[in-house]
Structure 1
């Protein structure tokens, strides 16, 4: 209780956390609605559009559950119910896992799309479009099963003090599970994260090399006075490269702040708030990066503004 009052006293940090969550929810809602309207009008979406829509949905769910967690952390609400704790924590962990896996899939798919005809990835070009929906469904099912442990171990914090409980939020705690299951789940999560980060790094490096090679070719074909236009595919690739680079940066910072929260500062309130800000950074910035390069959305917003 003392910790809750201490955290709630940091008004500026508290307001910054809620401002970040509100901005992120609003931006992801706009991005998701735009792709829903596009689907209703055209009745067909490209794999890239489907992935962006899924990212917007995942980040929207992540920030909404983070809003519930923040209200409990800062002392505005006490859940006190097992079902509420299980649902919020489960969805929050699930969407965090889906965020990294969907971003990785987006990066790998764009690398395959950008690959030239004589590359080793050429044979995956036609297959990737057909199997892409199955990959998205697999990511949902896999992560739902992987994070099901939170539905079992998370519950409302009892009134009786127990040293065996691990506090997740002020109202929710994690009950102890056997060492074997804990080791298995942690190993799977770590292997998953390392694999996705590694795939992102490899696909990003591959796309950078292709873009550099394409730029050198254009410099030979065009005079120095002319500035060649960037194709839509190259623009999409640059956007995905920016997203993956930003994600890896925020993931690294999140690991650093989480480690310092657990080891160095011993749940210091300021470090806890910083960890919340860093953990939500990618979900908040991602829709703005995607919207800034979406010509259809910009043109639609400009036309709506002119009508008013």
Structure 2
């Protein structure tokens, strides 16, 4: 039953993200994309890879049937999964920051960064990718197939793979950097989210005397801001739940099927709901789907 749940969750998330990836690729290649489209396109690709590698049952079944339970399988899976998770938090934070700068009033402190962010967007992407790809490289060294020899020097995380013990200084240094990075990014997401909520609240109060709020149509900027706020809240909640589960696994220092199953489900929640939120809130997608529906209806009517 758990296997069916994981397969359905991962399959549904992959299909939704693939649809969104095709849409953003089409927008980037054929139209003039918004900077947020560039970020969302990368985030969608990252979530597809994350759903495929982040403890996905399909991959373990394929590897098991092909008898590919070796060091390469363990190292590649752990490394790619960790890189994608790191990129997901970085790009979600960048999306939140960029939207906060975009909707900031011209008199605010953040307004002067609006054009600078657009100008250096490619450089920011290159820095984020290169940093996470290089920093996570220690996963290649300190992961591998589980053996019965020196079990105290290994932490079993799946039936066949484990994390090898590190030097105390190296482990402390890596943990310090990871915790500092995550605390900074999550804190920045919360700060920009609070700033966007204040901006939306002020905008709503200013227009309250001009429009009936029940009939007030949200502007594209307001709709995009609300979407990003929902994504940030979802990410932060899932992030802290995953931290609690991971800490429990580290304390037990063993492979626990229940803990691993819950962690797999939690890890896949954010990349699964993200495309659904974006698809439902982007007018370009809804209009495109309505156009396709009307076109199909017209074709079948002719027949």
TM-score by length of 1: 0.89
Q: Which residue matches 1:135?
A: 124
Asked if 1:271 is matched to 2:259, the reply is yes
Cα separation, partners in 2 of 1:35 and 1:234, compared to 1, 3 Å: same
Match of 1:281 among 269, 277, 289: 269
Counterparts of 1:53 and 1:90 in 2: how far apart (Å)? 22
Q: Which residue matches 1:125?
A: 114
More displaced, 68-77 or 189-198? 68-77
Q: Is the 8 A contact 2:16 2:275 kept in 1?
A: yes
1:231-242 pair list within 5 angstroms = 231-242=219-230
Q: Is the 8 A contact 1:89 1:150 kept in 2?
A: yes
Counterparts of 2:84 and 2:206 in 1: how far apart (Å)? 41
Asked if 1:85 is matched to 2:48, the reply is no
Q: Is the 8 A contact 2:28 2:38 kept in 1?
A: no
Q: Is the 8 A contact 1:72 1:169 kept in 2?
A: no
Counterparts of 2:136 and 2:289 in 1: how far apart (Å)? 39
RMSD: 2.2
Q: Which residue matches 1:199?
A: 188
How many residue pairs get matched?
Answer: 295
Q: Is the 8 A contact 2:158 2:255 kept in 1?
A: no
TM-score by length of 2: 0.90
Q: Which residue matches 2:235?
A: 247
Structure 1 residues 74-110: Cα deviation after superposition (integer angstroms, max 9, x where no partner): 9955532222222111110000011111000100110
Which secondary structure does the structure 1 equivalent of 2:209 belong to? helix
Q: Is the 8 A contact 2:280 2:286 kept in 1?
A: yes
Cα separation, partners in 2 of 1:211 and 1:68, compared to 1, 3 Å: closer
Q: Which residue matches 1:4?
A: none
| Aligned-residue offset at 1:262 | 3.8
Counterparts of 1:229 and 1:260 in 2: how far apart (Å)? 46
Asked if 1:99 is matched to 2:88, the reply is yes
Cα separation, partners in 2 of 1:13 and 1:225, compared to 1, 3 Å: closer
Q: Is the 8 A contact 1:166 1:174 kept in 2?
A: yes
Q: Which residue matches 1:297?
A: 285
Instruction: Structure 2: state its 5+ residue gaps.
Output: 297-303
Match of 2:19 among 11, 17, 30: 30
Q: Is the 8 A contact 2:74 2:161 kept in 1?
A: yes
Match of 1:169 among 149, 158, 167: 158
| Aligned-residue offset at 1:277 | 0.4
| Aligned-residue offset at 1:153 | 1.5
Q: Is the 8 A contact 2:47 2:88 kept in 1?
A: yes
Cα separation, partners in 2 of 1:161 and 1:73, compared to 1, 3 Å: farther
Q: Is the 8 A contact 2:35 2:118 kept in 1?
A: yes
Structure 1 residues 140-176: Cα deviation after superposition (integer angstroms, max 9, x where no partner): 1111111010111122234656331222322222222
Cα separation, partners in 2 of 1:290 and 1:139, compared to 1, 3 Å: same
Cα separation, partners in 2 of 1:73 and 1:259, compared to 1, 3 Å: farther
Q: Is the 8 A contact 1:18 1:67 kept in 2?
A: no
Q: Which residue matches 1:111?
A: 100
Cα separation, partners in 2 of 1:189 and 1:58, compared to 1, 3 Å: same
1:15-26 pair list within 5 angstroms = 15-26=4-15
Counterparts of 1:202 and 1:178 in 2: how far apart (Å)? 36
Counterparts of 2:132 and 2:153 in 1: how far apart (Å)? 27
